[in-house]
Amino acid sequence: MVLCLALPVLSAADVKVMEEIIAKVNGDIITRTDVNRTREQLRAQLEQRSLQPDQLEGVMKQQEAGLLSDRIDQLLLIQKGKELNVNVDAEVSKRLADIQRDAGIADPEKFQAWLREQSGMSYEDFRNEMKNGLMTQRVVQQEVGGKINIPRQEVRDYYEKHKAEFVRQEQVFLREILVSTEGKDEAGVAAAERKAKEIVARARRGEKFPEMARDHSDAASKSDYGALAPQKRGDMRKDLEDMVFGMNKNEVTDPVKVANGFLILKVEEKHQAGQAALEEVDNEIMEKLYQPRFQPKIREYLTQLRSEAFLEIKDGFVDSNAAAGKNTTWSDPAQLKPETVTKEEVAAAAGRKRLLWLLPLPWTKEVSVTTSK
């Protein structure tokens, strides 16, 4: 018995596109919405830089061409991270806890609602974006950054040839913790002073100053773990300047009364005036030599991942960092044609086991379902 099912044929006007896939990267997809969201995030970041309208549009035009490429990069790195069993869940949880603490919202549901309002994403999406970002960073460091070696002799050679770059002004690098007294009565001020003295004692016992700044400081710098810009002579209040410039690296001040509370400072680093020794600028030179090596290496690594990947890109869209010779031609299933089967071939197959049912394919107009008598 042969049963023919006629499927309705829809015109282009009848079809409403809910989402458009524009690229396939191994088992993942990139949609037009993904790229549009990235474009909106880029615009928001540029608007915060207070650019003139023509400047903003110029930068947008320049960077928009690479948005799809950036999404492909990210997917390839995330997939590699999963392949390498990279786990960043603990770091994600810690960062979310830091955000919640800084926001001062103890209730988890209220925090998730606040996060949706601030980011425009659901809590789950925000967490996943953070996880993906940390995973890509970990993969890049493990697979690229950690494999870049700079010979010690090259560091010495750079120092000798560029000594003029390392003639220093006298300056000090500080972290701060502020225990606020704003709006507090006499008892509140006394409690703040006791808290500041306790923090100093803990810091001098060896507790990590950056983490204490993050957890206990009332200054805006807490989001940067208390780090301040380098201070030169004349940049600070005279009594504070005399204090910190007379201290050694890693020393912590006693609490100092300021207008809005009690200030604690730690000397992270000091530069004396004059020619800096190689040991003082070692890390700075390493960074100078590292960056020119890193960018080509990360692009080389991503090109390798592309060459090994299943990658298809829809017509009208371009991967600006495509691997040379890689075929990324888009295959549209709707354009595939079914095989033609003759009556003779059907008869020859009569002795073989037959399927009891066949799922109709969406691009066929008519499906025949054959059952054995």
Strands 167-168 and 274-275: antiparallel
List 270's β-bridge partners, or say none: 172
The owner of tokens 């786990």 is 87
pLDDT surpassing 90 at residue 69:
yes
pLDDT surpassing 90 at residue 243:
yes
44-48, 93-97, 258-262, 323-327: segment of lowest average pLDDT? 44-48
Show the CA angle centred on residue 267, arms to residues 278 and 210, nearest 5°: 105
Whether 134 and 74 have beta carbons less than 8 Å apart is answered as: no
Whether 264 and 200 have beta carbons less than 8 Å apart is answered as: yes
For the chain, give every domain's residue range: 1-12+22-168+278-373, 170-272
pLDDT surpassing 70 at residue 12:
no
Q: Is 67 helix (H, G, I), strand (E, B) or coil?
A: helix
The string of pLDDT tens digits covering residues 129-161 is 999 999 999 999 999 999 999 999 999 999 999
Closest CA to 42 of 27, 22, 23, 61: 61
For the chain, the farthest-separated pair of C-alpha atoms sits apart, in whole angstroms, at 102
Q: Is the full-model pTM beyond 0.85?
A: no
What's the CATH class of domain 170-272?
Answer: alpha beta
Task: Return mean pLDDT, the chain.
Answer: 84
- Residue 99's pLDDT band, with cuts at 50, 70 and 90, is confident
Mean pLDDT of 88-102: 89
- Return the pLDDT at 62: 86
Please state the CATH superfamily assignment of the domain spanning residues 1-12+22-168+278-373 in this structure. Answer: Porin chaperone SurA, peptide-binding domain (1.10.4030.10)
Query: Under the phi-then-psi rule, with left for phi > 0, alpha for psi from -120 to 50, and beta for the rest, what region is 309?
Result: beta
The string of pLDDT tens digits covering residues 314-325 is 999 999 999 999
d(CA 24, CA 32) in angstroms, rounded, equals: 12
Mean pLDDT of 4-18: 53
d(CA 283, CA 228) in angstroms, rounded, equals: 19
